Amino acid sequence: MANLRLSLACGPYDRTQALIDGSIRPDGIDLTYLTLQPAEIFWRMLQYQEFDVSEMSLSNYTTLVSQGNSPYIAIPVFPSRVFRHGYFFINTEKGIEHPHDLIGKRGGVPEYSMTAGVYMRGLLQHEYGVMPNQIDWVQGRTDRLGRKLPPDIRLTQGDPRVELGDLLERGEIDFMMTANNPISFRKGSPKVRRLFPNYAEVEKDYYRRTKIYPIMHTVVIKREIYDRDPWVAMSLYKAFCAAKERSYKLIMETGSPKASFAWLQSMIEEEQQIIGKDWYPYGITPNKETIEALLQYTFEQGLSDRLLNIEELFAPSTLRDIPLGEGQLV
Architecture field, domain 4-81+215-244+284-296+308-317: 3-Layer(aba) Sandwich (3.40)
Longest dimension (CA), the chain: 67
Q: Where are the domains of the chain?
A: 4-81+215-244+284-296+308-317, 85-210
How many Å apart are CA 170 and CA 162, to the nearest integer?
12
pLDDT tens column, 288-302: 999 999 999 999 999
| Residue whose C-alpha is closest to residue 245's, from 280, 290, 286, 201 | 280
Q: Cβ distance 265 to 253 under 8 Å?
A: no
* Predicted local confidence at residue 69, as pLDDT: 87
* Predicted local confidence at residue 166, as pLDDT: 97
Q: Cβ distance 61 to 220 under 8 Å?
A: yes
Would the CATH topology of 4-81+215-244+284-296+308-317 be identical to that of 85-210? yes
Strand-pairing partners, residue 73, are 221
How many Å apart are CA 234 and CA 73, to the nearest integer?
12
Q: Which fold has domain 85-210?
A: D-Maltodextrin-Binding Protein; domain 2 (3.40.190)
Does the predicted model carry a pTM greater than 0.85?
Answer: yes
φ, ψ of residue 220 to 5 degrees: the values are -120, 150
| Average confidence score pLDDT of the chain | 96
Q: Indicate the length of the chain as a whole number.
A: 330
CA angle 137–150–287, rounded 5-degree value:
85
**Upper half-sphere CA count for residue 208 (Cβ side, 13 Å):** 11
Alpha-carbon radius of gyration of the chain: 20
pLDDT tens column, 36-71: 999 999 999 999 999 999 999 999 999 999 999 899
Q: How does DSSP classify residue 14?
A: G
Q: What percentage of the chain exceeds 90 in pLDDT?
A: 97
